[in-house]
């Protein structure tokens, strides 16, 4: 990310961690201590405190339960897939239309933690930072500004779709980098072949 984009993000609020720190985003500004727990969306029984590093912070500039699809150009992304899924954008976040007003009205808070208390989780590339013991934030929760403004300042395209599943089914067979979060909250998957990108 360029210094210009970093400066633009500062005007939005605490949306990316500083060097040596990780962040946890929440709609609750009153948490004083975080204890390990099994996340609702977890695929394994381990208990963790969850946080994100600088590169993955943007995946959480959303209401907590908002289903979203994140796509970006990977090292092996083909020119055709780049054009189809990203267009002129380096990164695209897709949500359903019905979530836009919720995203605009949601007040999000960021908690700062020492990165040394967390370890990367996920292979071949980590998708989160986790702690296995209770941790306390470095300070009180800090209010994040407009989530739409954060996307704009970071140069991330926010794409609105009637439903996510047709797009997801294409993304997962492409060469772009991708991640799907809270997809169980999306509209149910339609009949095969409805609403695909052409």
Taking only the tens of pLDDT, the chain with its 198 residues reads: 444 556 556 566 778 999 999 999 999 999 999 999 987 776 778 999 999 999 999 999 999 999 999 999 999 999 999 999 999 999 999 999 999 999 999 999 999 999 999 999 988 788 899 999 999 999 999 999 999 999 999 999 999 999 999 999 999 999 999 999 999 999 998 765 544 554
For the entire predicted model, the pTM comes to 0.87
Q: Helix axis angle, 3-10 relative to 147-154, nearest 10°? A: 170
- Matching residue, tokens 């995203």: 103
H or E segment to which residue 79 belongs: helix 79-81
Q: What is the pLDDT of residue 3?
A: 47
> CB neighbours of 24 closer than 8 A, spacing ≥ 6?
34, 49, 50, 51, 52, 110, 111, 113, 137
Q: What is the pLDDT of residue 63?
A: 97
Q: What is the pLDDT of residue 189?
A: 83
Q: Which two tokens stand for residue 1?
A: 């990310």
């Amino acid at each position: 990310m360029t210094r210009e984009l970093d400066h633009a993000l500062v005007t939005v609020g605490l949306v990316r961690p500083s060097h040596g720190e990780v962040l946890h985003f929440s709609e609750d500004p009153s948490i004083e201590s975080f204890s390990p727990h099994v996340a609702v969306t977890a695929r394994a029984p381990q208990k963790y405190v969850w946080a994100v590093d600088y590169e993955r912070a943007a995946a959480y500039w959303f209401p907590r339960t908002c289903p979203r699809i994140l796509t970006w150009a990977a090292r092996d992304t083909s020119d055709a897939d780049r054009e189809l899924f990203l267009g002129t954008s380096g990164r695209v976040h897709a949500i359903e239309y019905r979530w836009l007003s919720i995203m605009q009205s949601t007040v999000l808070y960021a908690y700062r933690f020492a990165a040394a208390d967390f370890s990367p989780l996920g292979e071949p590339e980590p998708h989160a930072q986790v702690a296995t013991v209770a941790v306390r934030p470095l300070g009180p929760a800090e209010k994040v500004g407009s989530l739409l403004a954060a996307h704009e300042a970071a140069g991330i395209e926010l794409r609105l779709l009637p439903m996510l599943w047709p797009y997801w089914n294409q993304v997962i067979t492409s060469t772009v980098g991708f991640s799907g979060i809270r997809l169980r909250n999306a509209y149910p998957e339609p009949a095969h072949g409805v609403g695909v990108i052409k």
